Amino acid sequence: MTTASSTLAATRRQLLASAATLGAATAGLLAAATPALAATPLLANEGRVPGFTARNAKVNGTTIHYRVGGKGPAVVLLHGYAETSHMWNPLMPLLAKTHTVIVPDLRGAGGSAKPEGGYDKKNMAVDIHELVKSLGINSAAIVGHDIGLMVAYAYAAQFPTETSRVVLMDAFLPGIGNWTNVWLLRDLWHFHFHGKTPLALVKGRERTYFEHFWNDFAADATHSIPEADRRIYAAAYAQEGGMRAGFEYFKNFEKDAADFAALGNTKLTMPMLVLSGEKAGGTFLIDQGRLVAKDVKGVVVKGSGHWLMEEAPEQVIPELLQFLN
pTM given for the model:
0.86
List, in order, residues 6 or more apart from 3 with CB less than 8 Å away: none
Sign of the Cα torsion 219, 223, 227, 229 reads negative
**Domains of the chain with bracketed CATH:** 2-324 (3.40.50.1820)
Could you give the CA distance from residue 92 to residue 100 in angstroms, rounded to a whole number? Answer: 10
The pLDDT tens digits along the chain (325 residues) read 444 444 344 434 343 344 333 333 333 333 333 333 334 444 555 678 999 999 999 999 999 999 999 999 999 999 999 999 999 999 999 999 999 999 999 999 999 999 999 999 999 999 999 999 999 999 999 999 999 999 999 999 999 999 999 999 999 999 999 877 775 566 666 766 777 898 888 899 999 999 999 999 999 999 999 999 999 999 999 999 999 999 999 999 999 999 999 999 999 999 999 999 999 989 999 999 999 999 999 999 999 999 999 999 999 999 999 999 9
Conformational region of residue 182, where left means phi above 0, alpha means psi within -120 to 50, and beta covers everything else:
alpha
Q: Which is nearest to 297 in space by CA: 320, 325, 264?
A: 320
- The pLDDT assigned to 139 comes to 98
